[in-house]
């Protein structure tokens, strides 16, 4: 316990890094994931193909490989990206594929009559998607979306291997300095993650109860 108090600054900094990395990546994933889902259900084949290609590529590539490509692959073609933005993009782009698929399952659950009714009212594809279908889809997929985002928070730990001093990077650093306090170090790191994931889970639960559609 004393060890955690003595090293509070380190844990706090690392916690803030993990938190900001998670929030920014979450933003990227939600925005891009929604766009991808819209593309996948759009009536234009090239858009559908492009989104499918994106989802299958990122969903089937280990996140470490995405990181490697972002940090060490892109500089080979003279595109150097800083480590933190690189981490945000890696985690965000990767998670977007999963957000897209969660959202698409929600879109599939909206009855076709809804979309047909929207068309009958004269709404364009964009309008019927954004006004009628997506709002219902989002309300259906709150729990799976929550799972995706909580998994994403834990996935940010891969950034430790790519020069981002987030929570899990404290493990090798502090263990090397004082291996005797291994238990305290582990507790500190786990509590750090829980401070992000448990409130998220609670929020997801609350939102689900408020917006769930009774069919």
Partner 1 sequence: MRITRYAAALAATGVVLAGCSSDAGETTEEAAGGGAEVADDVSFDEGTTMAELADAGTITVGTKFDQPGFGLAGPDGVPEGFDVEIAELIAAELGIATDDIEWVETVSANRESFIQNGDVDMVVATYTINDSRKELIDFAGPYYEAGQDIMVAAGNPLGIQGPDDLAGRNVCSVEGSTPAEEIRTNYPEATLTLFDVYSKCADALRNGQVDAVTTDNVILTGLVAGAPEEFELVGNPFTEEPYGIGITKGDDEFRSFINDTLEASFEDGSWAEAWDRTAGAITGTDAPEPPSVDRY
Q: Which of 110, 160, 167, 196 binds partner 1 (CB under 8 A)?
A: 160
| Binding-site member from 85, 126, 172, 199 for partner 1 (CB under 8 A) | 172
CB of 204 to partner 1, least distance (A): 32
Contacts 24+ apart (CB under 8 A), 22-26: 22/152, 22/153, 22/156, 22/196, 24/88, 24/92, 25/87, 25/88, 25/91, 25/92, 25/95, 25/152, 25/156, 26/92, 26/95, 26/149, 26/152
According to CB under 8 A, which residues from 177 to 206 bind partner 1?
Answer: 177-180, 182
Looking at residues 44 to 73 of the shown chain, list those that interact with partner 1 (rule: CB under 8 A).
Answer: 49, 53, 56-57, 60-61, 65, 68-69, 71-73
Separation in Å, CA 87 to CA 68, 72, 76, 140 = 10, 12, 18, 30
Indicate whether 12 belongs to the interface with partner 1 (CB under 8 A). no
Q: How many residues bind partner 1 (CB under 8 A)?
A: 32
CA dist., res. 17 & res. 35, Å (int): 27
Contact residues toward partner 1 (CB under 8 A) are 49, 53, 56-57, 60-61, 65, 68-69, 71-73, 75-76, 80, 83, 160-163, 165, 169, 171-173, 175-180, 182
């Amino acid at each position: 316990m004393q060890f955690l108090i003595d090293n509070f600054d380190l844990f706090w900094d690392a916690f803030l890094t993990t938190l900001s990395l998670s929030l920014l990546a979450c933003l990227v994933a939600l925005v891009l994931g929604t766009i991808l889902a819209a593309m996948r259900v759009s009536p234009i084949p090239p858009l559908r193909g492009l989104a499918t290609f994106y989802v299958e590529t990122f969903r089937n590539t280990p996140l470490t490989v995405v990181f490697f490509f972002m940090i060490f692959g892109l500089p080979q073609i003279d595109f150097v990206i800083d480590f933190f933005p690189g981490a945000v993009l890696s985690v965000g782009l990767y998670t977007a594929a999963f957000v897209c698929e969660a959202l698409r399952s929600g879109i599939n659950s909206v009855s076709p009559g809804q979309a047909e009714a929207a068309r009958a009212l004269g709404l364009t594809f964009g309008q019927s998607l954004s006004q009628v279908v997506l709002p219902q889809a989002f309300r259906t997929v709150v729990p799976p979306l929550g799972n995706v985002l909580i998994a994403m928070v834990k996935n940010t730990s891969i950034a430790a291997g790519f020069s981002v001093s987030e929570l899990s990077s404290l493990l090798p650093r502090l263990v090397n300095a004082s291996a005797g306090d291994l238990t305290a170090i582990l507790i500190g790191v786990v509590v750090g993650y829980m401070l992000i994931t448990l409130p998220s889970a609670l929020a997801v639960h609350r939102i689900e109860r408020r917006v769930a559609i009774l069919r």
